[in-house]
Amino acid sequence: MSEYIEHDKEGISVGLVEKKLFTFAAPPDEMVLENGAKLGPITIAYETYGTLNPDKSNVVLILHALSGDSHAAGYYRNESEKPGWWDIMVGPGKGIDTHKYFVVCSNIIGSCMGSTGPCSVNPKTVQPYALDFPVVTIGDMVAAQKALMDHLGIEKILCVVGGSIGGMQVLEWIVRYPDMVVSAIPLATTTKHSALAIAFNEVARQAIMADPNWNNGNYYYGPKPNLGLAVARMIGHITYLSDESMRLKFGRRLQDKSDFSFNFDADFQVESYLRYQGKKFVDRFDANSFLYITKAGDYYDMEKLYGEGSAVKAFSKAKAKFLVVSFTSDWLYPTYQSKAMVKAMKKNGLDVSFCEIVAEWGHDAFLIPNVRLTTLLRGFLERVCRETRK
């Protein structure tokens, strides 16, 4: 029972929550990755909200994006701290109502937020893995999540939901474990990265690797590549916004000055904002994890993996009901990519609903309070529940 409950416009908070850890794949039973390497033991950080019903039919699995973590909702200590990254959507009375659903959110492998990744200790060397950590894929992340579901005794998932790289994990779930997933909500995502998305990720990775402190990934006992990681975050952050959102939020307004400095200080508000975002990011994220996760996103190609290059053939393996959502100002994963997957789903006779939400905030729109998105998720989950009970 939560010790603290905060009222807000869209229901109430789940209150105080606890990060949990699950460890599996201990030698000699390591997990075999898609590239053939073995990894183990593996620790998964996860959180749960709500109550699992007796027949375990009310599970909602939330899958996070690149820099997310298992802390999707609630607070660790008190109301003065920052809540979980999707607290606007998860909680009693919210879009994903924890009075109705048992919500699970786990940190992906390769990350640095509690799950095994490059900054974890390699049991063979008793040193951080660094670049000895094997390159993991979206499929490997989902396989680890499946192990967590098995540990929790969950055989059926009412809905898998996630945005961006989390949306890729949603797509992987529905084709890798089709009999386990009742419904799916891929948000602002794609079946494969465009050349543009790969290009931005590569520039960000190069920024990290060009930092002299990166030291080929072996920086854990010395200076860290903070400048490179900050620049990588600045690059990424630009892709998460939109021209309209930056115009409205910043325009060409100056930062705390009435004229140009005529040097290379942050004259414009947008420059100051990006520097702040980069500086804040290095305090909580690992540079090597950034490299690994962006590479996993770039490698993912659902059509090639499951359909011999055909989206229609790939989705023929799916059985879930779908709600696909895109956003008008998302130029990183534009709407045409969502429409392409919807078309492939419909050609397979799948139950699919699609909505393009008018939003000015770019790719990050699914993380920002939006009544339309909340209503869509709430209604879709309620419909799936009704139809499942029939």
Give the span between the Cα atoms of 388 and 161, in whole angstroms.
17
164 is catalytic: yes
| Residue in 13, 111, 115, 164 annotated catalytic | 164
Token pair of 131 as six digits: 């670049």
Region for residue 256 given its phi and psi (left: phi exceeds 0; alpha: psi -120 to 50; beta: otherwise): left
Contacts of 119 (CB under 8 A, 6+ apart): 112, 128, 129, 130, 220, 286, 288, 289
Q: What are phi and psi of 271, to 5 degrees?
A: -65, -45
Token pair of 117 as six digits: 């990744």
| Residue in 69, 267, 286, 330 annotated catalytic | 330
Token pair of 304 as six digits: 């090639």
Total residue length of the chain: 390
Contacts of 389 (CB under 8 A, 6+ apart): none
Amino acid at 51: T
Instruction: Give me the helices (H) in 160-301, please.
Output: 165-176, 195-210, 226-240, 243-249, 269-282, 287-299
| Residue in 64, 71, 193, 363 annotated catalytic | 363
Give the span between the Cα atoms of 181 and 197, in whole angstroms.
28
- Distance in Å from the first CA to the final CA of the chain: 31
Q: What is the secondary structure of 126-145 as a DSSP string?
A: TEE-GGGSPPP-HHHHHHHH
For 215-219, the CB contacts below 8 A with 24+ separation are 216/130, 216/131, 217/118, 217/130, 217/131, 217/288, 218/130, 218/131, 219/130, 219/287
- Could you give the count of Cα atoms lying within 13 Å of 67 in the half-sphere of its Cβ? 19
Give the span between the Cα atoms of 111 and 384, in whole angstroms.
32
Contacts of 41 (CB under 8 A, 6+ apart): 23, 24, 25, 26, 27, 30, 116, 123
Residues catalogued as catalytic: 164, 330, 363
